[in-house]
Amino acid sequence: MTQLGVVQSPQAFYDLFYEKWREYLYRLSSGEKLVAAIGHELTSPEDVRLHMEDIRIHMRGHNLYDLFYGRYKDCETELLTRYIDIAPREDFKDILDAIDHFIYFENRRK
């Protein structure tokens, strides 16, 4: 199966979200707000799929980010460094050009 991102498929996303919902997401204030908005607890991965728009509105983004990217936290610097090393400079041109003009970095280059 072709990998779409950090999960293998949309269904894998719903399954993982529901697993984490049952584990702890329902206890968070954003989880409580979601329940208030939809009128009931999430009951299955299918329920997650049906309420994705509500989840996007009411769940805090960093909680969702941690679900899927938290496993990479220990090697985050290494992954970002590798990505920057292999990505074409054009992808970061605006950022790198701006950094090149910071006085701090100009002094370091000399």
With contact defined as beta carbons under 8 Å apart, do 64 and 31 qualify? Answer: no
For 34, residues 6+ apart whose C-beta sits below 8 A from its C-beta are 42, 51, 54, 55, 58, 59
Q: What is the model's pTM?
A: 0.62
Phi/psi at 88 (5° precision): -60, 140
Within 10 angstroms of residue 14's Cβ, the number of other Cβ atoms is 20
Work out the pLDDT band at 26, boundaries 50, 70, 90: very high
State the helix-helix crossing angle for 61-69 and 10-23, rounded to 10 degrees. Answer: 110
Confidence (pLDDT) at 98: 81
Which tens digit of pLDDT belongs to each residue from 45-85? 999 999 999 999 999 888 887 777 777 778 888 888 888 88
